[in-house]
Structure 1
Amino acid sequence: MTDTSTPLQAIHQLMAEGVPTGKADDAHARRLWWGALEVLQQRLLSADPSWEGVWIAAPLPALYAPELLQRYRGWVWAPEALTLLNDLQSSTLLPSDLISAPTGVAEAPLLSHRFQRMTLCAEDSQDPFLLVITSKLQIALALQGQEGERRLLMRSEPSLLTRILALVEQRLKEEDQAQAKSLHQALNDLGPLQSSGDFALQFWPDLAQRLASMAPTVTFQTAHESPEATPQAHASGDIDAELSLLEAIAHEVRTPLATIRTLIRSLLRRRDLPMKAMERLQQIDTECSEQIDRFGLIFQAAELQRQPEGPSPLARTDLGAMVRLLSPIWTQQLKRRGVGFAMTIADSMPLVLSDPGRLEPMLGGLVDRCSRSLPPGSKLLLTLQPAGARLKLQLISHTPEQIASQTVDPVQQERLGPVLSWNTNTGSLQLSQTATRRLLESLGGRVTQRRDRGLTVFFPIAEQC
């Protein structure tokens, strides 16, 4: 550790010793991080419930399963800006039992799974870190490296973990002597560290399997401002604070949903459940997937606020086939809300230039955006047809009153920062018009949106080979 390094900075440096330089960008590194957390957590959930342990994380809580939060004691270093989370206890966005109590506050027995929260300083590393020490398994995870050289670090050597714990205790002593003594006593109760070689050998194959099943649209950004952020972000810290809060909310919403979906899909493989139960489980699975995709799009939009504008690599994409393939899913999705869906696609549609991997969830996000605030009895119309050198995709919604009167009333939206907006009549939260436009532009689309004609997107037609 250098003289200018904080203990939390030194942890990442220590874990990187002897590890080859990474080659990932931040988006791919974040996918590795979330996949690694799920692999580790599933291992802990399947372990003997009698295992005791502690966990230490920064810059946000990394464990989220209530069973683990109840079973293990936790210490979390989080940015001071995220004290805003304490104001959300009455909100439906975050479960109140997952919001940490201030350091040093005694907790009621029913809230014994809350973790101790410490303050992350500006000079600390903002890269995520998690250390789990149980009586049978000890593991440390972290992300480290510059953009384009990012890497996931997983270390389980007892000698290295001992050095990491020494840095953690050093930091705690600087902030709160009582908490340092509490952690030291908890570690002594667990006994000496031992090798977790069996888990370490299985970790990387399990991670590869987990990544293969993860939705490709879910990416997360760090809670600090990129050096290449937009001029607006440099002019004000509000955008950065909002993105930090969005990341925290997504952590508390998306990760439990992913766990629920995994458990639901394991139940769906059984053949001894009543048909009605299978139908209910399928509905839950679908709802979880939709919400996971929604937060994926929100964070793609947030990412664009940090990144400089530039051309994106686009490929030949069969937009007509994609829309036809997705239309049954949209029909069922809207049917659950009591909204009708109709589609008109011209014959022999040419290919367009876009990013098919990101365009598919984006189309679902457009359908969701145009229909989420609609009351039952409404209709959503989708048309796709040539328009000169482009294909025109149009989404127009009609409420029952509009259908009866043959009019189209504007939807009242209020902007909540650069990424989100909400319908003032229904309270429905969604991507803002600006964020939607920027996302579609990154996919080759050009958006026009009039209050009386819904949403229209023009995609450039690809040249014939």
Structure 2
Amino acid sequence: MSTIYEAVCDSEFVEELHQTDAKEFWFRAIAVLEQLCRSMPVEGLFFTHNPQILANSYSLHNLQIWFFTPSHTALLATKSLPIQNTQTIRLAKNDAIAHEWFCLLVSRSFSLLILSSEQSRSCIYSFHPEPLQKAIAVLRQKIHQPAQISLLSQQLEQFSVQMPEYRAIAKFGTLLLSQSFQQELPIPEIREVDLIGAITHEVKTPLTTIRTLVHSLLRRKDTTPAIATRLKQIAMECSDQIDRFNLIFEAAQLAASPVPLERIQFQDVLLQSIERWQEQSQRRQIEIHLDVPQELPAVISNSNLLQQVLNGLVDRLTRGLPTGSHILIQVSAAGEHLKLQFQSQSEDGMHSGESPLLRAVGQWLMLQPETGTLSLSLPITKTLFQAIGGKFTVRLHPTSAEYDGEILTIFLPIDRG
């Protein structure tokens, strides 16, 4: 069987829903599963295409997580969770189960499979061991590393699929039914954009004060060279964080007013930015290589915002790469557009497997839990480039190439006037 759906759909112990929207039922079922995990002890195995499904549940840390993904880009948050009990299984891009939304929980309290498949445009679920074991068999075929094969066998011996308890099934059904009739509470709406604006102000104000105090200390004659070096590091970190939140705030203001576009000399923008990028990369021991023509055409964009967005991209890229990595920056003409491209490669050629996790925080932001760094989400970054007249794409370079990590490409319209 090539998909989980094909393996379990004919089982008499599977409930399949065609009457409701598949994705709508999926989200309801996942919400109910979260409530179940809070109401009873859950310890066992968790197989999924998305490890963030139960991110709001404390039970997540008691589960051995098996994460199946065809993706290799840090921007889309594809690395395993930053906890020791997670295994990541890389799928081929054309693997059929890459198009299935699934979560399979195997615990001593209860076991449950929830599946939404494009193949059937329906959503199914089951508590019974027979379809769950079939689903596990399909997933086991995707694991090829001997160490992971051995680990999964040990874990399945420790947490075997058992016949469901009546209490778990009854509670699942009750919670699912109550969701269908639940009325919305009259909670005042708080727009995410307003919240982001308020947080930006609260973060920037103390950082600006700290930076000002640091600069005053640097001007003192009794500041020793060692202390001055530390103070400069503090000032640079404050500036980076302030600029990061400035960009977030600019993105939040897009809906309020259109961005004015004008003819700008891209070469000037690039020259002003390169020195900053070199400083950022040197602090993280990352090399930047430039492939830029001596003369560049003018483009139509917004100079201030374009510089902020480019700085934000380089900041996210350098923070996501391990020490000793390389970034190639190329600029070239592409028809009616100027193409700016960032290609990344880690020292050992395995950047995709070393990338830090980025968690979604609402629709606007991504959080890197290991460092606490916030950055704009991919959809918002694309929207921001559209607002300043450009286009932004992210893809992976073929692994046979010298640069085998992410490729971030920006297209800006050339001014022919």
TM normalised by structure 1 equals: 0.44
What TM-score results when the alignment is normalised by the length of structure 2? Answer: 0.48
Where relative contact order (Cα < 8 A, 6+ residues apart) is larger, the structure is 2
